[in-house]
Amino acid sequence: MEFKIPQPLKEEHEELHSDLVKATKAGGKIGDAAKAVAGVLHPHFMKEEEYALPPLGLLIVLAEGKVAPEMRDVLTMTDKLKRELPQMLEEHKAIVGALENLREVAKKENKIEYAHFAEKLILHARTEEEVLYPAAILIGEYLKLKLKG
C-alpha cells in the first residue's frame, strides 16, 4: 500500500523550501544565514518526507473507522519515526538555532520578509513536534492494536 503525505503538508513543505531558496539568493549576511538553515534543514526534510509525514495520509480513513491489513506496512515508517524521534528533535534544535540567526540578521538589515519567513518555519517545526510527529506515531500504535490477530 502506498502512503501519501497529505496535500496541505506537501504544499507547505514546497512553499517553505521555495522561500528558503529565495533567501539563499538574497546575498550578503541574509544569504549566508539562509544557506546555514538550508544545510541543516534539507536532510531533515528528506527524513520527514520518507517516514514521518506519509503515515498522516491515513488519518482520514482511520478516523472513519476503516482499517485494512495492508495498512500494516505503515508500521515500518511509524516505528522508525518513534526510534528516530530524539534525533529528529535534536535536528529541530539546530534548525531553530539557524533560523533564529537568520531572523536576527534579517531584522538588523531591515529585511522583515526574511524575519517573517524564519518565524513561520520555527512555528512549522513546533507544529511538527507537538502535533504531526505524535499523530504519526499514534497511527502506528493504533494500527498495532487494531490489526492484532
Tell me the per-residue pLDDT of 91-147, one tens digit each, with 9 for 90 and over: 999 999 999 999 999 999 999 999 999 999 999 999 999 999 999 999 999 999 999
How is residue 47 written as a grid cell?
527524513
139 CB contacts (<8 Å, ≥6 apart)? 55, 56, 58, 59, 62, 74, 78
148 pLDDT exceeds 90? no
Spatial contact of 57 and 6, defined as CB atoms under 8 Å apart: yes
12 pLDDT exceeds 60? yes
Tell me the per-residue pLDDT of 26-35, one tens digit each, with 9 for 90 and over: 999 999 999 9
Residue 58's pLDDT is 98
How is residue 52 written as a grid cell?
514521518
Report angle CA 50, 79, 53 to the nearest 5 degrees.
35
Mean pLDDT of 70-96: 97
**Residue 149: band (very low, low, confident or very high) from pLDDT cuts 50, 70, 90:** low
Determine the distance from the C-alpha atom of residue 51 to the mean position of all C-alpha atoms in its chain, rounded to a whole number: 10
Tell me the per-residue pLDDT of 56-76, one tens digit each, with 9 for 90 and over: 999 999 999 999 999 999 999
